Amino acid sequence: MPLTMTHVSKVFKDGPHEFKALDDVSMDVKSGEFVAVIGPSGSGKSTFLSTAGALLSPTTGTIEMDGKNVGDLSNKEKTTLRLDKIGFVFQTANLIPYLNVTDQLRMIYVAAKNDQHTGNEAELLKHFGLGHRMKNFPSELSGGERQRVAIARALVHDPELILADEPTASLDSARGRDVVELLANEIHDRGKAGVMVTHDERVLDLCDRVLEMKDGQLMEAEAVH
């Protein structure tokens, strides 16, 4: 499994007070599977995604990725794992204003200090309908185009796991659906594992499974209308 979480809890402390953001969460995601996690604000979705992406360490429980127990890794090894094995898609694209579209993808290799990149940036951008935008800067793109660049950037280093945080938040319904449909197709066609945190129930039919976060606990979602 690209991602397995077993009895994961995350507790934050504020002086004498404790807050359990994740409460005994267990899940796994297979290659080629796209899983949505829904739930109200404050339910633990962001903490869940950050913990799944090795940005936060669990208080208890285990997370296995790429056959490794993430808890056994040093901070440097966790950083390497994120750069090599995980592709992140954020709700506001998080593009660097002074880099053109092609360089947005190349910076992943720079961050990973990887000189072995395949040079597939142009091919990937053309695949996403951005061949005419390769030299443009983020300010010259539409919201949908920026999110497509973000997805291409998440895939350029061929990660095993794609984590998407509210990818439709800054888009209208039509462009939001286009972005999630693109993401779902890439996960299925390339055999990636994908997890998307979302409030947008209109795109859930594009996912293979829908889970719901309630008070830090993850469960199968009730029927979504």
Q: Which residue has the higher pLDDT, 163 or 68?
A: 163
Say what the pLDDT of residue 225 is: 47
Nearest to 197 by CA among 29, 17, 12: 29
Nearest to 180 by CA among 134, 132, 138, 148: 148
Cα gap 85→82, rounded to integer Å: 6
**SS3 at position 206:** helix
Mean per-residue pLDDT, 187-201 = 93
User: In the numeric block, which tokens belong to residue 159?
Assistant: 């990660």
Nearest to 221 by CA among 93, 52, 36, 11: 36
Residue 113 has pLDDT above 70, yes or no: no
How does the average pLDDT of the chain come out, rounded?
89
**SS3 at position 8:** strand
Mean per-residue pLDDT, 125-132 = 90
Residue 87: half-sphere exposure toward Cβ, Cα within 13 Å: 24
Say what the pLDDT of residue 224 is: 56
Mean per-residue pLDDT, 138-162 = 91
Q: What is the pLDDT of residues 54-109, one digit of tens each?
A: 999 999 999 999 888 998 999 999 988 888 899 999 877 789 999 999 999 888 77
Residue 117 has pLDDT above 70, yes or no: no
Residue 11 has pLDDT above 50, yes or no: yes
User: In the numeric block, which tokens belong to residue 225?
Assistant: 């209308």
Cα gap 144→26, rounded to integer Å: 33
> What percent of the chain is modeled with pLDDT above 70?
95
Say what the pLDDT of residue 111 is: 65
Mean per-residue pLDDT, 198-212 = 93
User: Given the structure tokens 């935008």, which residue do they identify?
Assistant: 133
DSSP string, 83-109: HHHEEEE-TT----TTS-HHHHHHHHH
Which ranges of the chain does DSSP label H, i.e. alpha helix?
45-52, 75-85, 101-111, 121-127, 143-155, 173-190
Q: Please, which pLDDT band fits residue 118 given cuts at 50, 70 and 90?
A: low
**Class of the domain covering 29-41+72-219:** alpha beta
pTM: 0.89
Out of 59-63, 72-76, 113-117, 159-163, least confident range: 113-117
Nearest to 134 by CA among 154, 116, 149: 149
Please report, for residues 69, 90, 113, 170, 219, the alpha-carbon distance to residue 4 in angstroms, rounded to integers and kept in the order given: 9, 22, 27, 30, 15
Q: What is the pLDDT of residues 16-33, one digit of tens each?
A: 888 999 999 999 999 999
Please tell me what DSSP assigns to residue 165.
E
Q: What sign for the dihedral angle of Cα 170, 83, 218, 74?
A: negative
Say what the pLDDT of residue 57 is: 92
